[in-house]
């Protein structure tokens, strides 16, 4: 009996130890990361709250440089670029918190910058200059002293990183098996939600512990959003799912019209309604669904032209198409309140100043100030050089 008890204790100890080892593998530190995954950081000066330069707009140019442009004096205040001179692509978005700008570059660098002066608080690099990590289509997400972001590695893996916003050091990291992970993540209810391949994950935002993982038949390629109750995410084809945030169970699912697909980042929530735009071959559509049930509220079609971008401003939805049609839709019924054909094609988001008659977007020539009353495109800032391959640009009015 003593021998059997000893064997049982040994087995229990082994299982317990193995279980603990497996659990720690969901959370990495720099001690176990390879050189191509490791996070290095350099503190330039202590992080502090900075007043906002509220006469300026941030322009993340499509050549990969970020600069502050004063809308009153029409002059550039400061410019920041990645350390690698060949990094000529914007590819990402920026986040401002307490006057500090957090900007990721496609080469894996992330900077914390003073919005007034452009001076650095800290610099971090994911991976190294030889085996570069790629940061693409990312928006830094900040909560509770951490910055969350996903990255792709050249060795066909991808990573979720949590950095300490005080100095840019690694707080925790999770390595996915799938190589592609270029969709912004979601913070909700102290959890991080993100996709990798055909899987959806939820993590404890503080520790990086995997809380749930759900597999789907198709690759997931949509930006996750929430209405405060469920999580909504689409695959790369024609399905949109509402998931319970605690267990990732499917609450409902919605199939796009025939020959429509790929919602990606064209999705948002407001007042228990879910709004999203699909791509299409002949007809592309903007949908409004009841976020609780998945029932269709309205649908607006665009023929022979794909919707590239949507955003919400006040009680209406704005966007533009691939062929340069700028439009405004009433959120309540989907009716078009305003539309015009632009002569310059936007490559960025749309920013709205306090003046209700103006909006800004970026094109291959530079910054456009659009007068809604006159339907006039004013080149507010003209670029001095052009690139042949334009991926994207990003604007953010400092306020």
Residue 317 lies in a domain: no
Residue 32 CB neighbour total at 10 angstroms: 13
Element (H, E) at 340: strand 336-341
Residue 72 lies in a domain: yes
CATH number of domain containing 169: 2.40.128.630
Side-chain half-sphere exposure of 194, counting CA atoms within 13 A = 30
Give the CA distances from residue 295 to residues 167, 241, 261, 272, 298, in Å, rounded to whole numbers and listed in that order: 46, 12, 19, 11, 9
- Is residue 252 within 8 A of residue 206, CB to CB? The reply is no
Residue 5 lies in a domain: no
Question: Which residues does the chain have with pLDDT short of 50?
Answer: 1-25
Report pLDDT for 156.
66
Report pLDDT for 1.
42
Which residues lie below 8 Å from residue 318, measured CB to CB, with a gap of 6+? 310, 311, 312, 326, 327, 328, 329, 350, 359
Tell me the C-alpha distance between 382 and 135, whole Å: 27
Kindly report the average pLDDT of the chain as a whole number: 90
The boundaries of the domain holding residue 349 are 40-184+342-397
Report pLDDT for 82.
93
Residue 359 lies in a domain: yes
Report pLDDT for 356.
81
Report pLDDT for 26.
54
Per DSSP, the residues of 16-84 read: HHHHHHHHHTTSB-TTTS-TTT-EEEEESS--------TTEEEEE-TTS-EEEEETTTTEEEEEE--SS
Residue 289 lies in a domain: no
Place of tokens 């949509």: 222
- Is residue 321 within 8 A of residue 309, CB to CB? The reply is no
Report pLDDT for 169.
96
How many domains would you assign to the chain? 1
Query: Which tokens sit at 214?
Result: 């759900």
Residue 280 lies in a domain: no
Residue 6 lies in a domain: no
Residue 240 lies in a domain: no
């Amino acid at each position: 009996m003593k021998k059997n008890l000893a064997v049982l204790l040994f087995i229990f100890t082994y299982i317990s130890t193995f279980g603990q080892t497996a659990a720690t593998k969901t959370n990495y530190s720099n001690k176990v990361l390879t050189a191509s995954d490791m996070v290095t950081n350099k503190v330039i000066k202590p992080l502090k709250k900075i007043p906002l330069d509220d006469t300026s707009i941030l322009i993340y140019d499509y050549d990969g440089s970020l600069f502050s442009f004063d809308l009153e004096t029409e002059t550039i205040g400061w410019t920041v670029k990645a350390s690698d001179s060949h990094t000529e692509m914007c590819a990402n978005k920026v986040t401002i918190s307490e006057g500090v700008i957090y900007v990721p570059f496609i080469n894996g660098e992330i900077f914390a910058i003073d919005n007034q002066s452009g001076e650095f608080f800290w610099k971090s690099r994911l991976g190294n200059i030889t085996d570069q990590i790629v940061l693409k289509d990312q928006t830094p997400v900040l909560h509770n002293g951490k910055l969350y972001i996903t990255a792709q590695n050249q060795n066909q893996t991808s990573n979720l990183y949590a950095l300490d916003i005080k100095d840019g050091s690694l707080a925790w990291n999770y390595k996915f098996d799938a190589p592609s992970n270029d969709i912004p993540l979601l913070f909700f209810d102290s959890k991080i939600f993100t996709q990798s391949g055909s899987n959806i994950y939820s993590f404890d935002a503080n520790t990086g512990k995997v809380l749930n993982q759900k597999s789907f038949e198709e690759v997931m390629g949509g930006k996750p959003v929430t209405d405060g109750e469920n999580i909504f995410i689409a695959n790369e084809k024609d399905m949109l799912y509402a998931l319970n945030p605690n267990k990732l169970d499917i609450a409902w699912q919605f199939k796009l019209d025939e020959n429509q697909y790929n919602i990606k980042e064209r999705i948002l929530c407001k007042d228990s309604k879910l709004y999203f735009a699909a791509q299409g071959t002949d007809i592309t559509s903007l949908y409004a669904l009841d976020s609780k049930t998945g029932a269709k509220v309205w649908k607006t079609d665009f023929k022979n032209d794909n919707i590239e971008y949507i955003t919400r401003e006040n009680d209406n939805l704005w966007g533009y198409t691939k062929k340069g049609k700028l439009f405004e839709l009433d959120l309540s019924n989907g009716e078009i309140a305003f539309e015009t054909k632009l002569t310059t094609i936007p490559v960025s988001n749309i920013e709205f100043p306090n003046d209700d008659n103006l909006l800004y977007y970026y094109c291959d020539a530079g910054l456009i100030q659009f007068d809604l009353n006159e339907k006039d495109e004013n080149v507010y800032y003209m670029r001095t050089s052009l690139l042949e391959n334009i991926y994207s640009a990003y604007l953010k009015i400092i306020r």
